[in-house]
Amino acid sequence: MKDLLKNKILNRDASIAIIGLGYVGLPLAYEAAKAGFNVIGIDHNEDRLREIHSGNCIIIDAIKEEFKELVKTDRIKATKDYRLLKTADIIIICVPTGLTKNLTPDLVNVEDVTKEIAKNIRVGQLISIESTIYPGTTEEVVLPLLEASGLKVEEDFLLCHSPERIDPGNLNYSTKNISKVIGGIGAASLEVGKIFYSQIINNIVGVSSVKAAELSKVHENTFRAINIALVNELAVLCDKMMINVWEVLEAAFTKPFGIMEFYPGPGVGGHCIPIDPHYLEFKAREYNFMTKFISLAGEVNRKMPEFVREKVLRALNKIGITPTASKVLIIGMAYKKDTGDYRESPAISIAELLLKDGIKLSYYDPYINKIEIGSHSFSSISLNDEAIKAADVVLITTDHSIIDYSWLIKTANLIIDTRNATKGLEDKENKVILL
């Protein structure tokens, strides 16, 4: 079985099925197809399937022409029919994972697609999980569901975990040139998994177990969450001390050793930083081990939208406008610059808080045309002199590169800049309030 699948991979005869065609799955499908594999993408989102059928890459603009050609030549196909998994040699799970209201792992998407795989599994397939999961998930959750089919891992099929590391909007690092960690359920799974991924990704890092691979991913994002929380806490303290936190950090970062650059903001967003640390926290409790850094970091980061709200209310009070009589224009709904990804975006949390205060809100985001905030529906406005001047406060929550911040400073009545987007610009005095 192992040697047959290896040969199919090396000869580009292996068929690839990718479940979940979002920020992880679609770029992976593109790279696999570009490397010469036939790819079947499976997703339940009808709008997304229509976009793909028409040749539109809705995730990465830079590859849209190449992507269109891959769809046109049937290198990439998209469907919602799980029965086509029977035709695949390699099945890759790229569905999102989340948290429950109690901040415990929500693996329902992974479990559901694994059950679909189990209905269609056959001898000789490799299954790879790219979704972020807590250490032990592959062996304790996924494997039993697959073996309920009657097939046995390492004998009839192979199973590995290779956590995604995609960074939406990053033009320097893509699926292809980000090192790929992989752990197998056994030696054969690891060997074949490494061979497959090495056909489409530059550098493969094999580890001794799936648990090591699972833990590597949650540690990466826990590291980031804790360090972001540290500078967020510093920002709150600097606000009380009336010290410019950005000046403090820029000075600190001139040290050539012993420090890494992390910056504060209105909160953390995306599908990794706010979520993954709690996966590790959850698993640690099984061992009666309290991950205090993770708990505190989560608490600090979750409070940042409230801190931004307080700054808005203080600013309105200073200029003598009550919240219910005020207008606030939010610049940026995405969780990070130059993307349209608003998953877990702190801008949404801030907007919800300001709406509860009775503030009249509008927003501009060049990448997000419409958005739902609570029971309210908003459309991105046209960013012009009239719209900016109409706002009592312009609140920068995402520092998109396309925006002319010099013009914004000249035109706006008052700006609250949570991203230091106005760094180095003139005429900021009495016009811009930093985080």
CATH code of the domain in which 337 resides: 3.40.50.720
15 and 88 in a single domain? The answer is: yes
Q: Is residue 81 part of a domain?
A: yes
Q: Are 17 and 91 in contact (CB under 8 A)?
A: yes
Task: Give how far the C-alpha of residue 315 lies from the chain's centroid of Cα atoms, to the nearest Å.
Answer: 32
pLDDT of residue 206: 98
Question: Locate tokens 């001139």: which residue?
Answer: 254
Q: Is residue 216 part of a domain?
A: no
Q: Which of 11, 66, 81, 6 is nearest to 33 (CA)?
A: 66
Residues contacting 92, CB < 8 A, separation 6+: 16, 17, 18, 19, 25, 28, 127, 128, 129, 130
For residues 146 and 114, what is the distance between their CA atoms, to the nearest angstrom?
Answer: 7
pLDDT of residue 257: 96
* Average predicted confidence (pLDDT) for the chain: 94
Q: Which residues form the catalytic set?
A: 272
Q: Are 375 and 349 in contact (CB under 8 A)?
A: no
Chain segment 42-62, per-residue pLDDT in tens: 999 998 898 888 777 766 665
Tell me how crowded residue 16 is: count the other CB atoms within 10 A of its CB: 25
Chain segment 286-338, per-residue pLDDT in tens: 999 999 999 999 999 999 999 999 999 999 999 999 999 999 999 999 999 99
Would you call 323 helix, strand, or coil by DSSP? helix
Lowest-pLDDT choice from 2-6, 148-152, 165-169, 331-335: 165-169
201 and 249 in a single domain? The answer is: no
For residues 201 and 156, what is the distance between their CA atoms, to the nearest angstrom?
Answer: 26
Q: Residue 144 sits in which domain range?
A: 1-208
Query: What is the mean pLDDT of the segment spanning 203-226?
Result: 97
Q: Are 362 and 391 in contact (CB under 8 A)?
A: yes
Residue 434: band (very low, low, confident or very high) from pLDDT cuts 50, 70, 90: very high
Tell me how crowded residue 87 is: count the other CB atoms within 10 A of its CB: 12
Query: What is the mean pLDDT of the segment spanning 203-219?
Result: 97
79 and 2 in a single domain? The answer is: yes
121 and 270 in a single domain? The answer is: no
Give kind and range of the element (H or E) at residue 241.
helix 210-241
163 and 245 in a single domain? The answer is: no
The angle subtended at Cα 419 by Cα 417 and Cα 422, nearest 5°, is 60
261 and 195 in a single domain? The answer is: no
360 and 430 in a single domain? The answer is: yes
Share of the chain above pLDDT 70, in %: 99
Chain segment 99-137, per-residue pLDDT in tens: 988 889 999 999 999 999 999 999 999 999 999 999 999
Q: Is residue 217 part of a domain?
A: no
Q: Are 215 and 209 in contact (CB under 8 A)?
A: no
For residues 303 and 346, what is the distance between their CA atoms, to the nearest angstrom?
Answer: 10
Q: Is residue 214 part of a domain?
A: no
Tell me how crowded residue 68 is: count the other CB atoms within 10 A of its CB: 15
Q: How many domains does the chain have?
A: 2
What is the value of pTM for the model shown? Answer: 0.91
Q: Which of 179, 208, 237 is the last residue of a domain?
A: 208
Q: Which of 159, 180, 208 is the last residue of a domain?
A: 208
Would you call 123 helix, strand, or coil by DSSP? coil
75 and 158 in a single domain? The answer is: yes
For residues 333 and 355, what is the distance between their CA atoms, to the nearest angstrom?
Answer: 15
Q: Is residue 409 part of a domain?
A: yes
Cα-atom radius of gyration of the chain, to the nearest Å? 24
Q: Is residue 218 part of a domain?
A: no
Q: Is residue 400 part of a domain?
A: yes
Question: Locate tokens 């329902």: which residue?
Answer: 108
Q: Which tokens go with 423?
A: 């760094």
198 and 327 in a single domain? The answer is: no
Query: What is the mean pLDDT of the segment spanning 13-23?
Result: 95
pLDDT of residue 60: 67
Q: Which of 208, 232, 257 is the last residue of a domain?
A: 208
248 and 127 in a single domain? The answer is: no
Residue 1: band (very low, low, confident or very high) from pLDDT cuts 50, 70, 90: confident
Query: What is the mean pLDDT of the segment spanning 405-434?
Result: 93
31 and 179 in a single domain? The answer is: yes
Q: Is residue 107 part of a domain?
A: yes
User: CA of 186: how far to CAs of 66, 112, 208, in Å?
Assistant: 36, 24, 9
pLDDT greater than 70 at residue 40: yes
301 and 377 in a single domain? The answer is: yes
